[in-house]
Each structure stands twice: as C-alpha cells, then as structure tokens.
Structure 1
Amino acid sequence: MAFLRGEGVEVCSKQVGFVGSYYAATVINNYGNESYAVQYKNLVTEDKSHPLIEIVSADEVRPLPPKVSASGFALLDVVDAFDNDGWWVGKVSGRQGFDYFVFFDTYGVEIPYPTSRLRPHFEWVNGKWVSKKRV
C-alpha cells in the first residue's frame, strides 16, 4: 500500500526496548514505496525543539487504525495502551476501580490504565484491519 504526502499513519518501532509499539506520524515524503519520510506527532528531537522526522522502511508503516470507541474491556481482550508517546499492544489482565491492568508479554510487566488511554487492538493484514479482541 502506498501512502501519500500529508497522510496520517502509524509507524511500528523496531528499536530495542520499543518493539511492538506504534507511533502516530504524517508522511512528508514517499521514496518509491520502499521507504517514507515521516514526522511524528508525539516524538520530538533530542533537544525537544522540533517534531522528530525519520526515514522509515515501508514495512514499518501502516494506515491509522479505525477509531472505535469502547466503554470497557473484558479479561484477556487485546488492547493498545497509550504510553511513552505511542501505542503498545497488551492484554487486559484485570480491573480495579476505573483502571484496567494491561499485561505486556514482550516485557513481562503489568500496568494500570484508565479507559481513556486504551483502544481495541487491530492488526493490518493483507490490506485490511482485523480485530484481535481476544488471545
């Protein structure tokens, strides 16, 4: 799938410590559908003076997932949790009050989040969004 300049996307990080996280960005240049220059919405340069711009491989870029409002989640639902300026894939492992506990297999940690920082998880498969509600 080709993305055009100005299009909103998410970029999957392959950096150690950030594997499996997705960051909102805007395409600022297309290099023959093999790579893209993107400007991140929430990531900034080291001196924090400008939004971070990177050239990323086409296989690291996907369209923005569908916006689905969720009023709650069930045990073992696969969710994306907004943390450290990006979306991280985990599964609901419990609930206490207004917070849902999300377990992240990749890092072996469980963290509580309010519903406002969670979204249902979708996978981009063969050019279509597929819901991954449960494991």
Structure 2
Amino acid sequence: MRPPQRTVVYKVGDEVEVIGKEEGFYTSYYEATVVSLLPFGRYEVQYKTLIVDEETKIPLKEAVLAKDLRPVPPLVNTRGEYKLYQAVNTFDNDGWWYGMIVGRISCTGGKGYNVYFSSTNETLPYNCSRIRVHHEFFDAEWQQID
C-alpha cells in the first residue's frame, strides 16, 4: 500500500496557480491569489490575468478545490538557454501552457524557441521571456522535468 501524499495548506494571500479543468485547457495553469478559505477544503482565488468581462476588467474570482492548486513554481535562471526536447511552460492566452522545445529561432527582442504542444498538435514560436522550465508538484515538493 502506498503512503498518503502530503498536502499543502494555503493561507489568504498565498500566490498560487490553478490548473485548467475545461476541455482544451488541461495542460494550462493560471496565476491567482488565495482570497479566502472555504469549507470542505476549498479556496476562493482571484486570478491575475482572467477577468469577468472585457468591459469592466474586474478580476475573476472562483472557488476551487485544493487538489486544483499548486504554489507558484520555482524560478530557474536559464539565461534564455533551453535544451532540445526540454519540458517547458509558455505564457500565452492568460496562462502557462505545457510544451516541449523543438527548435531554436531568432525573434524580435532576443532568442526564441519553437515549442510543441501535444495537447493541440501545434508548434508555435516564443520569445525566451515567455518561456519557463516546467516543474511538476508532487507530494508537496517541486520536481523539475527534464
């Protein structure tokens, strides 16, 4: 029998990421702040980049389960250098998306990479400023995926 996984208890004000749970968003994470603790292990979060509507620009708030949250991943200083087939996250459409480096490109403002997304079978170009090293949060610890 496997031992139970450790869990993280978040506090009001903690910076977190919320996993995308809708079809087409399964490999995405959205930055948020815990704004209140709710019954039954749930949290109310306020998103940093998702809004209620375009007209008001009010940040979206949502009740989420603890299992759908993770702390903000550690920042790894890559100096804009990534390896071929390295697992990464790219910032696009208001969130961080899981992908894999498949090639280097030159782009406006510096280096860039082509990133393959298996969820959509697409390869898209990204400037290094929109790429970070991918980590998995397992058993209350960060693990870098190479």
- Report the TM-score when normalising by structure 2: 0.87
Instruction: Tell me if structure 2 keeps the 8 A contact 1:44–1:52.
Output: yes
Could you tell me how far 1:64 is from its partner in structure 2?
A: 0.7
Q: Please point out which of 109, 117, 120 is paired with 2:133.
A: 120
Could you tell me how far 1:46 is from its partner in structure 2?
A: 2.1
CA distance in 1, matches of 2:13, 2:101: 34
What residue ranges of structure 2 are gaps of 5+ in the alignment?
1-7
1:12 corresponding residue in structure 2? 19
Q: Please point out which of 105, 111, 121 is paired with 2:124.
A: 111
Secondary structure of residue in 1 paired with 2:120: coil
2:102 corresponding residue in structure 1? 93
Within 5 Å, which residues of 2 pair with 1:1-135? 1-32=8-39, 34-49=41-56, 50-71=58-79, 72-97=81-106, 98-133=111-146
CA distance in 2, matches of 1:20, 1:126: 19
- Report the TM-score when normalising by structure 1: 0.94
What residue ranges of structure 1 are gaps of 5+ in the alignment?
none
Report how many aligned residue pairs link the two structures: 133
Instruction: Tell me if structure 2 keeps the 8 A contact 1:89–1:104.
Output: yes
Identity %: 39
CA distance in 1, matches of 2:133, 2:123: 17
Could you tell me how far 1:33 is from its partner in structure 2?
A: 6.0
CA distance in 1, matches of 2:27, 2:40: 22
